[in-house]
Structure 1
Amino acid sequence: MTDKLDLKQKIQFCVVVLMSILTGAEVDLFVPSFPELQAVFELSPFMVELTLGINLAAHCFSSLIVGNLGDRYGRKPVIVSGLIIFTIGSFFCVFAAEYWQLLFGRLLQGAGIAGPGVISYLIIADTYPPQKQQQLMGILNGCMTLAMAFAPVVGSYVSLFFHWQGNFVVLLILGLACLTLCTIFIPFRPSNSEASISIREYKVVIQSPKALYYMGTIVLLILSYWVFVGIAPILYMEDLGVPLSEFGFYQGSMAATFALASFSSGYFIKRFGQRACFIFGMGSAGIFMFLNLLLIFSGVKNPLIITIVVQFLALGIIFPVNILYPLSLDAVPRAKARISALISSSRFIFTAVTIQIVSYIYDGTFMFIGLSMFLILGLMFICCFKLFREEKNIFV
C-alpha cells in the first residue's frame, strides 16, 4: 500500500470527518438553548443540565460496549446501528412536547453517537497506510475539537432564529447524512467471531499505569473546558446579562482560538517538535490556572474578561491532546479499540457528573465554575507528572 491516498480512501476519510463533526457538535450544539428550555419546560438549572448529563452518561456506557462490538462484528454494522439509534433520538428531541420526551431523546442520542465516536478512529487504522495514520488522526482530532468549539456559536444563532427545536433539526439532518454516506462508502470488513465482547476485556488496560496516566491527562484537560462550556450559557445569559444575539461572539472568540490552534498544530509540531509544543500547551494551561484564581478572588462579573482568560485554557488543550492521543493508543499492545473506548467513555461520564455537581452548587457567579476548573487541571498536572515518570522517552 502506497503513502498516497486513492479517491476511494479520500471519500472514506471525508465520511469519517463528517462523523467526527457530528460527534463533536452533538453535545454542545443545543446548550445556548438552555435559558429557553428552562422557561418552556419550567426547569431548574440542575434539571436543564440533566439533558446534557444523561446524554454524556449514555455515551459513556455505550462506548464501553461498541469498542468490543466493533472487533466482534466489524466496524460498519456498529456505526450504522449507532447512527440509526441517534436518528431516532433526534426525532424525539425535535418533537418533544414534554420534558421526559426530550430527556429520552437525549439518552438515545448519547447511546447512538458512541458508535461513530469510537469506531471512526479505528477505520483510519484499518484503511490507511501507517505513514498517514498519525497525520489523519491529527486532522480528525482537530475537526472534532473545532466542532465542539463552534457548536455553541452555531447553536446560539440557530436558537435565535429557530428556537430550541432548530438545533435538534440540525443534528437530525447531520445524522441522516452520516447514516446515508456511511452505508454507501464505508466498506464492510470481515468480523472476528473469536473477539470477546465482555467488559472484562478492559482489565488489561485498566491495570496499566501508563495507559491510565495517558487517559487521565487527556480526559482531565478536555473536562476542564467542557465544564465551562456546559455552564456558560446560564452564566452569561442568565446572570451576566449577555443577550442571545451577543452570546455567539463570546463563544466564537474561543472557537476561533480552537480553530487556529487545531489546524496549525501540525505545522508547529513539525516546525518546533512535539516537546516544545507540548510545553507551550501545558504552560498555557498553567497561566490559565493563575488567572482563573484572580477571577475567583476578585469576583469579576465582566463576560469579556472571563472569555479572555478562558482563551489560555483553549490554547492549553490543543497541543497536548493532539500529541498524546495517538501515543496513548499504543500504551497497551493490541488494545487500541479498548483504549479509544475508555478515553471516550471516561471523558463523557466525568463531564456528565462534574457538570451536574457544578450546576447543583452554582450560585450565579463564576466562583464555583472557576474552582472546579482549577481542581480538574490540578489533577491533570499530577497525572501528567506521573506519566512522564512512567515513560521518560515519550517524544523520542
Structure 2
Amino acid sequence: MSGKQKFTFLMLLLGLLSAFGPFVTDLYLPALPSLADYFAASPSMAQLSLTMSMLGLSVGQLFVGPLSDKYGRKKLLLVCLLLFVCGTVACIVAPNIVTFNVFRLLQGMAASGGIVIARSISADSYRGPVLTKFLAMVSAVNGVAPIIAPVLGGFLLNFMSWKGTFAVLLLYGALLLFMSGKFQESLPAKRRSKKSVLASFSLYAKVFKNRAYVSYFLVCTFPMIILFGYIASSPFIYQKIYGLSPVGFSLCFALNAVFTAIGCALSGKVGSEFKALKIAGTGMFVFAIAVAVALITHALLPILQVAFMGLTFMFGMSQPPANALALNAERANAGTAAAAIGASGFLMGGIVSPLVGMGDIATSVSIVLVVGAVLTLVSVFAIGSLCAKGIVSHSK
C-alpha cells in the first residue's frame, strides 16, 4: 500500500470509527416508541437503553485508553469490535427490556474503543498540520454523526423495524472489524507503556498533572455542553414550539450539521490553533446569546435558524484545534489523554440531556447553552493567560 493509499485508508477508517459511538446511541432514537411496544415496557425503560449506551461509551473509553497505550491500538480495536458484534446480536435476540439494556451497556463499552483509538492512532501517526487535518475530520464526524444518525434512523424505520436498525449497526461493526484487520499497528512495542495493567490506569493522574493538557482538555469538554444541549432540545424546539413537521425538523437539523462540518474544515485555515480557539470561543458565546434571545422572545424561525447555524459552526471550529493541542501536550500517553477527552464528552451529554427538559424548554436550553459558552470562553482566556506567563505553550 503506497503512502497516499495508506493515508486515504486511514482517514476512511478513522472517520468510520469516530462515527461509531454516535451511531450506536442515536441511530435508533426514532425507534424508541416501537421498542417500548415490542417489549411491553414503559417509555422510561426504553429511554434507559440510551442512558446505558452513553454510560458504556463514557466508562469504556477510560479503560480502553490506558490499555491501548500498553498493548497497542490494533489488538484492542479488534477485541472491541468483536465484542460489539456479539453485543449487537444479543440486543436483537434479547427476550426482555432488562436484558436488552444490559447488552446496550456492552454495545456502548465496545464502541468506545473506536472513538478513543481513532484519536490515538491520529496522534501516533502524524504531527503538526497533518495531525490537525486528521483531527478536523474526526471532530467533523463527531459533530455531525449525532445529528445525522437520528435522521437516518427515522428514514430506515420506513422500511424496517427497530431490529432492522440494529442489523444495520451489526453490518457497520462487521465492516469496521474487517477494515481494522487490514490496519497496520500505529504504536510500536518500544513506545508502549511498560507499566502493569493496574498501574497503567495511574497514567490518568500523570496526564491530569500536565497543566497544558488540562487547559486544552477543558476547551474540548465545555463545548460538549452546547452540542448535547442542542441535540437533546432541538426536536422539541423545532416541532413543539415552531410546529415543524418531522421532515422540516430533519432539514433544519441537517443544515446545522453541515455548518458543524464546515466549521471543522475551516478551523485550520485561520492561522494558529490558538487563534482558531479564540475565534470559536468568542463566536460560541455570541451565538449562544443570540439563540437564547431568539427562544425567549419567540423570534421568527429564520432568525433562530441563523443563530443555530452560527452556534454549530463555531462548535465545529473549536474541536480540531482543541483536540490537537491537548494530544500534542500528552503525546507519550495519547491513548489515556484521548480517552479522558472522549469520556468527558459523553459525560456532559448524560448530564445535560435531562437538564434541557426541566421546566420551560426555551428557558432551560437557553441557560444550558449560555453556561456552556461562558465556560468555554473563560477556558480559552485562561489558556491565553497561562501562555503569557510561559506556563503552557501553543502553536504560533
Normalising by the smaller structure, the TM-score range is: 0.7 to 0.9
Three-state SS of the structure 2 residue aligned to 1:153 is: helix
Partner in structure 2 of residue 257 of structure 1: 259
Q: Note if 1:310 corresponds to 2:312.
A: no
Q: Note if 1:322 corresponds to 2:320.
A: yes
Whether the aligned pair in 2 keeps the contact of 1:31 and 1:233 (CA below 8 Å) is no
Aligned mate of 2:371, from 375, 378, 391: 375
Whether the aligned pair in 2 keeps the contact of 1:74 and 1:190 (CA below 8 Å) is yes
Shift of 1:146: 3.1
Distance 1:176 1:282, change over 3 A: same
Whether the aligned pair in 2 keeps the contact of 1:225 and 1:313 (CA below 8 Å) is no
Q: Note if 1:88 corresponds to 2:86.
A: yes
Whether the aligned pair in 1 keeps the contact of 2:122 and 2:131 (CA below 8 Å) is yes
Shift of 1:221: 0.6
Whether the aligned pair in 1 keeps the contact of 2:222 and 2:375 (CA below 8 Å) is yes
- How far, CA to CA, are the matches of 2:256 and 2:107 in structure 1? 26
Three-state SS of the structure 1 residue aligned to 2:332 is: coil
Q: Note if 1:61 corresponds to 2:63.
A: no
- What pairs up with 1:232-381 in 2 under 5 angstroms? 232-237=234-239, 241-266=243-268, 268-269=269-270, 272-274=271-273, 276-299=275-298, 306-332=304-330, 334-359=332-357, 361=358, 365-381=361-377
Whether the aligned pair in 2 keeps the contact of 1:146 and 1:255 (CA below 8 Å) is yes
Partner in structure 1 of residue 152 of structure 2: 154
Structure 2 residue ranges without an equivalent (≥5): none
Structure 2 residue identity aligned to 1:176: A
Three-state SS of the structure 1 residue aligned to 2:65 is: helix
Partner in structure 2 of residue 111 of structure 1: 109
188-197 vs 107-116, which deviates more? 188-197
Structure 1 residue identity aligned to 2:195: A
Shift of 1:220: 1.1
Shift of 1:35: 5.2
Distance 1:48 1:217, change over 3 A: farther
Distance 1:308 1:245, change over 3 A: same
Three-state SS of the structure 1 residue aligned to 2:195 is: coil
Whether the aligned pair in 2 keeps the contact of 1:19 and 1:117 (CA below 8 Å) is yes
Distance 1:148 1:190, change over 3 A: same
- How far, CA to CA, are the matches of 1:129 and 1:146 in structure 2? 24
1:323-342 CA-to-partner distances (Å, cap 9, x unmatched) read 12111113346232221111
- What pairs up with 1:119-130 in 2 under 5 angstroms? 119-128=117-126
Partner in structure 2 of residue 202 of structure 1: 204
Count of aligned pairs between the two proteins:
386
Aligned mate of 1:386, from 362, 365, 382: 382
Structure 2 residue identity aligned to 1:289: A
1:11-54 CA-to-partner distances (Å, cap 9, x unmatched) read 3443222222323433332333345556665544x555433322
- What pairs up with 1:161-172 in 2 under 5 angstroms? 161-172=159-170
172-181 vs 274-283, which deviates more? 274-283
241-250 vs 369-378, which deviates more? 241-250
Three-state SS of the structure 2 residue aligned to 1:195 is: coil
Whether the aligned pair in 2 keeps the contact of 1:13 and 1:124 (CA below 8 Å) is no
Three-state SS of the structure 1 residue aligned to 2:157 is: helix
- How far, CA to CA, are the matches of 1:379 and 1:307 in structure 2? 23
Whether the aligned pair in 2 keeps the contact of 1:220 and 1:376 (CA below 8 Å) is yes
Shift of 1:131: 6.5
1:332-358 CA-to-partner distances (Å, cap 9, x unmatched) read 462322211110111112211222344
Three-state SS of the structure 1 residue aligned to 2:374 is: helix
Structure 1 residue identity aligned to 2:194: E
Shift of 1:66: 0.9
Aligned mate of 1:25, from 23, 26, 48: 23
Partner in structure 2 of residue 224 of structure 1: 226
- How far, CA to CA, are the matches of 2:169 and 2:89 in structure 1? 10
Structure 1 residue identity aligned to 2:122: I
- How far, CA to CA, are the matches of 2:287 and 2:7 in structure 1? 40
- How far, CA to CA, are the matches of 1:362 and 1:196 in structure 2? 49
- How far, CA to CA, are the matches of 2:96 and 2:148 in structure 1? 28
Distance 1:103 1:227, change over 3 A: farther
Whether the aligned pair in 1 keeps the contact of 2:24 and 2:169 (CA below 8 Å) is yes
Distance 1:275 1:342, change over 3 A: closer
221-230 vs 124-133, which deviates more? 124-133
Structure 1 residue ranges without an equivalent (≥5): none
- How far, CA to CA, are the matches of 1:273 and 1:131 in structure 2? 10
Structure 2 residue identity aligned to 1:308: V
Structure 2 residue identity aligned to 1:287: V
Shift of 1:258: 1.9
- How far, CA to CA, are the matches of 2:364 and 2:35 in structure 1? 23
